[in-house]
Amino acid sequence: MQINKVGLALFFVLLFNAVNAQDRTRFSRERMSGFERQDTLSPEARKSTSIKNLKNPDAKIQDYLIISYKNDTTYVDTTLTIQKEYKFNYLRKDNFGLMPFSNLGQTYNSLTYNFESMRLMPQFGARARHFNYMEIEDINYYRVPTPLTELFFKTAFEQGQLADSFFTVNTSPQLNFSIAYKGLRSLGKYQHLLTSTGNFRFTTNFHAKNNRYGIKAHIVTQDLLNQENGGLQDVPSVENFESGAEEFLDRSILEVNFENAESILRGKRFYVDHAYKIIKEKDSVSHNNLNIEHVMSFEDKYFQFDQSNANGYFGDAFKSSGLKDRATLERFFNQLKLNYSNNILGLLQFSVSNTNYNYGYDKLVVLNGNTITNRLKGDVFAAGGIYRKQYKGFDLQGEFGINVAGDFEGNFLKAQASFKLNDDLLVLASLNHSSKAPNYNVLLYQSDYINYNWQNSFNNTETQQLAFQLKVKKIADFTVDYTTINDYIYFKEDETSGLVRAFQNNGSINYLRVKLEKEIRFNKFALNNTVLYQNVQDDNNVFNVPELVTRNTLYYSSHLFGKAMYLQTGITFNYFTSYYMNAYDPLLAEFYVQTDREYGSFPRLDFFVNAKIRQTRIYLKAEHFNSAFTGYNYYSAPNNPYRDFTVRFGLVWNFFL
């Protein structure tokens, strides 16, 4: 969608209010996997996180709290670091391991996968369109001594921009509200590639003065629109692109597979999590805590693919014009938890839950004498538990869940142990087992295109993952995980029809990842390195990743003009080795396996100049500046080139009221 009037009004209202950055500094617990980087607040960062600009002289930066859905507490970090540079993008996350498509707001091709899972239910489908779809775990809650706002802005590609505005206030020490809207519109460089997305978030949280009762809730509405073109035509557009001829540097003249389709992912969610303390610690001489917690969420979402006229790219169709595929999911979730903690035993939690689901379409399909149903709906009842105990430097954690009744079987088990000797050394080991049903769009799909109609009865996908992590501050951070995958689900072109369908692997896949992270400093210079090695043992070649993925940044940092400005400038090198990169199917919004051609082994060099002036962080980047002299072989997916050299500007404006 276009950024509507409400979104624009919110944008300008927040523009004239205060703003504050919110990169998280986790201090309550370590993340379980080093493959998902989290910011840490270094001593240098603490020194530069000044509170002199706060309007309330009694407020401290540590008082501006950010609370996750799991109640992990962080606080606002307003520094300029290399991690902020990595997160200054559409997702507002470090996107190492993701290969962006050419236009902002499109999908990403995954270069690495983490199969650790604690889900019991199938996911909706259209997974390629969910990178910017904010889930429950992506929503944070706040507690602030003064009103706080953030404005994020970044230029896009041809007639567009990206903006993210946020405001939060405590009306009392007990009650907080926040409101935010992220909007994007970008035309793109290639034909028929417009993106227009919006993410609206509203949160509130409250705790009673006696701290016995607490509640947090959110409302999220999202609509993510992409025009679809199917990528460049094999002949002659791919050849013309790779030739590097000057006449084809205007990408809008390259012919694409179609120019009459678009897809949209739209959803709304209501979420409530509240708890009551039956026994408080001060009420018991033995340091006992007992509380009951209730979590409830309702989500209604759909994915729709529209095309004005049928195109042979997807095979034969039931009709020649006005094609419209729409899959919907309604999900109502209730969970009841009993939490008990004791200073000797640790934390114990037991939970029961119910998920009511309704996925499908508005019609039946009869194909080759077989009737494809229109709905998957029912109830699933589950039980689970959590244990956690901290003793000196040791942290033991365990969690399990199992579906006990309903149409979907599923279970997971996770055990983790870590030891933190001091701030310089952390050792962690974890074991994860998961069994989960295939996603809804694998089990049931309907389309106006004949090939894209199926009703499958696939086995659960089972994974076992063993992971180790070693953090040695003076040496490096090492993370290793080894995963075995059975009954893997994938999409691939059918050998007979040449059209994409869902399949299940009949063998085992063994997947190893080794990741190293290290920053080397010399005076005002630093070299930040992230290197990932991957190895896959798969006899059927249905799971493909590059063997090596690396990101290396050489940068310079210094205060200038009597410390009135803090400057960070450098060059980032991104690279991954050639492999059979997954192709993209816009009708399904899924990636599928291809083994016709390898892609990769092209460098991406970015030059950036970032600065912090008072409460404003300014970002200027020359992206992929080497594109003209290292060869036109850069792709995000087959027939979908990565972006050419471009210069982009943005800022994060921070202000405390």
Considering only 56-65, 345-354, 419-428, which range has the smallest mean pLDDT? 56-65
Confidence (pLDDT) at 122: 97
Residue 6 scores a pLDDT above 70:
no
- Residue 70, exposed/middle/buried by CB under 10 A (0-12, 13-18, 19+)? exposed
Residues 15 and 163: beta-carbon distance below 8 Å: no
Q: Which tokens is 205 given?
A: 């949280």
State mean pLDDT over 25-46: 36
For all residues of the chain together, what is the average pLDDT? 91
381-410: pLDDT as tens digits: 999 999 999 988 899 999 999 999 999 999
pLDDT score at 15: 36
pLDDT mean over 257-276: 98
282 pLDDT band, cuts 50/70/90, is low
Q: If you average pLDDT over residues 196-214, what whole number do you get?
A: 96
pTM value is: 0.90
State the pLDDT at residue 12.
37
pLDDT: which is higher, 21 or 116 = 116
Which residues fall within 8 angstroms of residue 569, CB to CB, at 6 or more apart?
555, 556, 608, 609, 610
Instruction: Name the least confident of 19-33, 72-86, 177-191, 293-307.
Output: 19-33
Sign of the torsion formed by the C-alpha atoms of 117, 121, 122 and 128: negative
Helix (H, G, I), strand (E, B) or coil at 650: strand
User: What DSSP letter does each residue of 543-580 carry, written as one string?
Assistant: ----SEEEEEEEEEEEEETTTTEEEEEEEEEEEE--B-
Task: Spell out the long-range contacts of 12-18 with Cβ–Cβ below 8 A and sequence spacing 24 or more.
Answer: 14/149, 14/151, 14/165, 14/166, 14/167, 15/151, 15/165, 17/147, 17/149, 17/167, 17/655, 17/657, 18/147, 18/148, 18/149, 18/655, 18/656, 18/657
Residue 48 has pLDDT above 60, yes or no: no
Q: Which of 83, 91, 96 is nearest to 23 (CA)?
A: 83
Residue 470 main-chain phi, psi, to 5 deg? -130, 120
5-656 maps to which CATH number?
2.40.170.20
What's the rounded Cα separation, in Å, for the pair 212 and 339? 13
Q: Residue 55 has what pLDDT? A: 57
Residue 437 near residue 408 (C-beta atoms within 8 A):
yes
For 560-576, the pLDDT digits (tens) are 998 999 999 999 999 99
Cα distance between residue 635 and residue 623, in whole Å: 15
Max Cα separation, the chain?
A: 81
Q: Can you tell me the mean pLDDT for 137-142? A: 97
Residues in the chain, total: 657
pLDDT digits (tens, 9 = 90+) for 501-519: 999 999 999 999 999 999 9
Digit-coded pLDDT (tens) for 155-201: 999 888 999 999 999 999 999 999 999 999 999 999 999 999 999 99
pLDDT > 50? residue 4: no
* Residues whose CB falls within 8 Å of the CB of residue 127, separated by 6 or more in sequence, listed in order: 439, 589, 590, 591
So what's the pLDDT on residue 33? 38
Would you say residue 635 has pLDDT above 50?
yes
The count of C-alpha atoms lying within 13 angstroms of the C-alpha of 325, restricted to the half-sphere facing its C-beta, is 29
Whether the per-residue pLDDT at 256 is higher than 90: the answer is yes
Smallest Cα–Cα separation from 29: which of 548, 416, 571? 416
Given pLDDT bands bounded at 50, 70 and 90, which one contains residue 288? confident
- Kindly compute the dihedral angle of the four CA atoms of residues 140, 137, 27, 342, in this order, to the nearest 10 degrees: 110
Cβ neighbours of residue 12 closer than 8 Å, sequence gap 6 or more: none
Higher pLDDT, 2 or 260: 260
584-620 pLDDT tens trace? 999 999 999 999 999 999 999 999 999 999 889 999 9
pLDDT digits (tens, 9 = 90+) for 57-87: 678 888 999 999 999 999 988 899 999 999 9
- pLDDT confidence of residue 589: 98
What gap in Å lies between CA 96 and CA 111, rounded to an integer?
9
CB 590 within 8 A of CB 579: no
pLDDT given for residue 159 in this prediction: 85
User: Cα(first)–Cα(last) distance of the chain, in Å?
Assistant: 33
| pLDDT score for 285 | 55
Specify the DSSP class assigned to residue 273: E
Most confident of 46-55, 187-196, 414-423: 187-196
> Distance (Å, rounded) from C-alpha 192 to C-alpha 225?
12
Reported as type and span, the H/E element at residue 471 is strand 461-472
pLDDT at 656: 86
CA dist., res. 336 & res. 350, Å (int) = 8
Residue 405: what are its φ and ψ, rounded to 5°?
A: -155, 145
Confidence of residue 36 (pLDDT cuts 50, 70, 90): very low
pLDDT at residue number 14: 38
Mean pLDDT of 348-366: 96
Whether residue 160 contacts residue 166, with contact meaning beta carbons closer than 8 Å, is answered with no
Distance CA 472, CA 483 (A): 24
In sequence order, which residues have a C-beta less than 8 Å from that of residue 40 and are 6 or more positions away? Answer: 25, 26
Token pair listed for 44: 């240098």
In b/e form, how buried is each residue of 160-176, taking b as 16+ CB within 10 angstroms? bbbbbbbbbbbeeeeeb
Q: Which of 27-36, 50-59, 433-442 has the highest mean pLDDT?
A: 433-442
Q: Given this model, what pLDDT does residue 43 score?
A: 36
Lowest mean pLDDT of 50-59, 88-97, 109-118, name the range. Answer: 50-59
